Amino acid sequence: MDTTVVANVGDFDTRTRAASPWRNPKLVAGVGMIVGVLALAGLGRLLWDTSLAYAASSPLNLPPFWMPGGRVDYPLGTENSGRDMLALLVVGTPTTLEVGLVVGLSAMLIGIVFGFAAGYLGGAVDTVIRTLADTALTIPSLAILIVISSYVREMNVTTMSIIVALFAWAGPTRLIRAQVLSMREQGYVRMAKLTGLSTPRIMFGELMPNLMPYLATSFIGAASGGILAAVGLEALGLGPQRVPDLGMTVSNAIEGSAILRGMWWWWAVPSAILMLIFIGLFLVAIGLDEVANPRLRGRTGGTA
């Protein structure tokens, strides 16, 4: 009898671990893709000469090594400014992700402050913040970013990230506000008010820990949007020109008529890395959403 009980308990523990929402397949796959991209970039820095990512460091217009005219010492070929494509990918991938990180953190910082203030305080504060967020969401942000970027004399990664972040805070603000509105009437929040906790302590000490999956989802969404906006600016030639990244590489390929010249390795490889990053971030966002929302977990076959 005791053996049966122990076996049943062991089976229950195994099923519980297997049913853990943090083992969501989409979340695991997305994190694996992003970590894999970063690992390859980090390994490449150790094994490859990153100085080849700069102009005039390599022969011009070499195809990949398996094509006629290619060379093994430039395995992914070069472009028309004498940059090695493998070195560009090794240097440019972390730089592109850095843009997403800065935009995501900036948007989340503003979104947390505004979203918690609007959702918890309500009244005039909520009206003002909601109006600002709605206005920011309706503005054609890319057009404004193009105008702002055209007036910036020296564009670097940090400057471009800050410019993009100017319009990235509205989405997280609306999401956080909606979640706080639904949680501020919960029993534990009322109990915290009765015990005399301050408003900032209730907002950031009681409510925020319960919103971490939603905050993570908002961060991923803001980071993805930031990378997409930055790539759009770079494709128009308005991004940083001295720091190699994936967007700049695609922009140079467009200017150099890489498609017409048949130099597919110049634009296709960085575009594939960008697609891998976007798909990975999308899967992470979907996975976090399912972790935070029991209804979605039940719909996808998990346990609530």
Query: Is residue 17, in this structure, part of any structural domain at all?
Result: no
pLDDT for residue 84: 93
Q: What global pTM score does this model have?
A: 0.78
- CA 157/CA 105 separation, integer angstroms: 15
Structure tokens at 158: 């940090």
Query: Is residue 20, in this structure, part of any structural domain at all?
Result: no
Total domains, the chain: 1
pLDDT in tens, the chain (304 residues): 454 444 444 444 444 444 566 678 888 999 999 999 989 888 988 889 888 888 888 899 999 999 998 899 999 999 988 899 999 999 989 888 888 888 889 888 999 999 988 988 888 999 999 999 988 888 877 778 788 877 777 777 788 888 888 888 888 898 889 888 888 877 777 887 788 778 888 888 878 888 887 888 888 888 888 888 888 888 777 777 777 888 888 888 888 889 888 899 999 999 999 999 999 998 988 888 787 766 655 555 444 3
Of 137, 161, 171, nearest to 285 by C-alpha is 171
Of 204, 263, 244, 219, nearest to 106 by C-alpha is 219
pLDDT for residue 221: 85
Backbone angles phi, psi at 89, to 5 degrees: -65, -40
Query: Is residue 171, in this structure, part of any structural domain at all?
Result: yes
DSSP letter, residue 15 = H
276: how many CB neighbours lie within 10 A of its CB?
A: 15
CATH number at residue 108: 1.10.3720.10
Query: Is residue 227, in this structure, part of any structural domain at all?
Result: yes
Of 145, 280, 296, 272, nearest to 223 by C-alpha is 280
pLDDT for residue 23: 77
Query: Is residue 254, in this structure, part of any structural domain at all?
Result: yes
- For residue 175, give Cα distances in angstroms to 221, 274, 293: 11, 26, 14
Structure tokens at 283: 């899967």
- CA 180/CA 187 separation, integer angstroms: 14
* Residue 135: exposure state from Cβ atoms within 10 A (0-12, 13-18, ≥19): exposed
Query: Is residue 134, in this structure, part of any structural domain at all?
Result: yes
AA identity, residue 150: S
Query: Is residue 30, in this structure, part of any structural domain at all?
Result: yes
* Bridge partners, 71 (sequence order): 74
* Bridge partners, 74 (sequence order): 71
State the residue for tokens 């022969």. Answer: 59
- Print the domain residue range for 42: 25-298
Size of the chain, expressed as the number of residues it contains: 304
Query: Is residue 128, in this structure, part of any structural domain at all?
Result: yes
